[in-house]
Structure 1
């Protein structure tokens, strides 16, 4: 696995978690691919993965893991138990970009990133490398912007290196207009965008309930309180707008229209990697009876995201091995803004199981 944002909380939690599960220290809680329907699908073993990536930060992974353990994200003692694996991954992290005053143009950056990925695969003797973007959310590109945003540079580099690609963020990645043709004609599988870990996961369950019971949703509002890097990044209105687009897509696709209401994202630094999401739903029942539903979701985003990232790497690696190419709408179960298909979680789960069955078929 090659992480874009390799020194961030999600990547470090995934590396530490993979090592812990492989060693039998902890169970694979939250990993859908470790459940019975995926037995026999030919997914690579967790023990077969090695890790590297790009990042612009310089702190070592073992130190980041220690800070996550101090915050309660990782179990106490786990960073020392998997120190060797964290250290090995740290040695394979290369400087990303573009950094301030970087003189390289887009083509040079893409070529450099692709070379880093290919070098990693060569050193590790990997059969294939899955590139996963878990970096900080970018604002949507300005109209007429000539340069590709970083997420799209990395996405283009993944395709050039012949690697399956996952965009677990709301950033443009392969969805940039300049990469549409490349994404459409890709000779590797790819999936995205924006991992569905908390508030939108709940929306994907509740919205079909209202539709199927013929209850008229009049308004659906939400608030998110979060800290850490995401909280700081999403304080930028442009980045927040990119994030909220995926949340709203779930409601629009399921209900047929977008109800009144907005989603607010507030940066609360003291929360660190923890977040709280509130939803307030106003709906009409029989004879116009007005009713309300309120939900509260409190969780650790890194711990919610990391098992999904490991799932996706296994699924994309197996799809690549099976010769499957292009976008994978069957993996919409994992995303707020998937590459097509239903937005209802039950429908997406059925499609995912169908994909697991497809991976069993000989090719």
Structure 2
């Protein structure tokens, strides 16, 4: 990669930029780039990725769409109060937060916006082109980190697909970090194929499903019969509220179930519950109960508890994916990018098990390094 290319600036356009994940991503990128925090959780900063030609964190420029109007600096202070961000960090990166906030444009939904589908897509695409041109960016990667929406009914585009269509129209690589339809809407598939743009999705694998993708292969490889796998999620914040809607919860659970079905060969008995607990704020507790048979039919059980902050788990992955998609675009890769299933519950391509997904990601790193 030439010195000139390394100095190019890359746009990261977040759908839901003022949400917890978006705010943590922007704040965290500024902190790591300034040497105020280590890149914990960023796989692209690990030993496997030097020489791949990824855009440097200091050359990422943030903007986005959002229906929320609370400025990013205030959102960051709220995340400090809830324990997601360290005290003093929003003040230390205030200039970066203010610059990103100034680049956020009003979003819209088909039900709340008087403009029609075509007008909304055209307006969102114009926002993307203006952002890329105004900031002198080599390219802009669009990443959907908005709240989960129900699966679409009929031909009409849900909000996530409007933004995905705008990304295609503006010539932007696209990442769907949510279980929402986005680029997977049937009406968008032909346009995505014609666009020649790299894309990745869907539904970021951050906590409970990450653990499931490690444990399920253990049972399969040791020939232990899983009789039932049940789970419960307790969470607050925007995700907790949005997932009280049955359709949104069903979309979320589908990806979690796919990990088990793909690895074990079939989906075991058992349900997964998602409960909104507003008092938990941006934190989550996930509990799993696995019933399995051992030798001679002996009944055994495994229980796990995962407690963490989804925003802090998601943000480094969002940065990884933005950098990888930008580099894939530079390298001329098109369509769903092989090797990125490691990051998703419901990946577009590749194997379902985490070890196999890790090897595929390393293969992608080699491919990018060879093209650098």
Residue 99 of structure 1: how far off its partner (Å): 6.7
Q: What is the aligned residue count?
A: 361
CA distance in 1, matches of 2:371, 2:150: 42
Whole-angstrom CA distance in 1 between matches of 2:74 and 2:110: 23
Cα separation, 2, equivalents of 1:235 and 1:99: 21
- Asked whether the 8 Å contact 2:23–2:76 carries over to 1, the reply is yes
In 1, the alpha carbon distance for the partners of 2:340 and 2:270 equals 28
Residues 98-121 of structure 1: CA deviation (Å, up to 9, x unaligned): 275522111111110000001001
Q: Deviations over 1:270-304 (max 9, x none)?
A: 00000000000000011111100000000000000
Could you state the TM-score of these two structures normalised by the residue count of structure 1? 0.98
Q: Match of 1:76, SS?
A: coil
Deviant stretches of 4+, over 4 Å: none
User: Where does residue 181 of structure 2 map in the other structure?
Assistant: 172
Q: Distance in 1 between matches of 2:287 and 2:40?
A: 25
- Residue 72 of structure 1 pairs with residue 83 of structure 2: yes
Which of 261-270 and 95-104 deviates more? 95-104
Does the residue aligned with 1:97 lie in a helix, a strand or coil?
coil
Query: Structure 2 length normalisation: TM-score?
Result: 0.96
CA RMSD of aligned residues (A): 1.0
Contact 2:257 2:267 in 1 (8 A): yes
Deviation string for 1:13-48 (max 9, x for gaps)? 010000000110110000000001100001010000
Contact 1:185 1:326 in 2 (8 A): no
Give the Cα separation in 1 of the matches to 2:312 and 2:64.
19
From 319, 335, 338, the counterpart of 2:344? 335
8 Å Cα contact 2:338-2:364 kept in structure 1: no
C-alpha separation in 1, matches of 2:269 and 2:28: 40
Structure 2: 5+ residue stretches without partners: 1-11
Higher deviation after alignment, 94-103 or 254-263: 94-103
Distance 2:103 2:158 in 1: 24
Is this contact kept in 2: 1:329–1:338, CA < 8 A? no
2:98 paired with 1:87: yes
Corresponding residue of 2:296: 287
In 2, distance between residues paired with 1:109 and 1:101? 11
Give 2:313's aligned residue: 304
Distance in 2 between residues matched to 1:350 and 1:101, nearest whole Å: 44
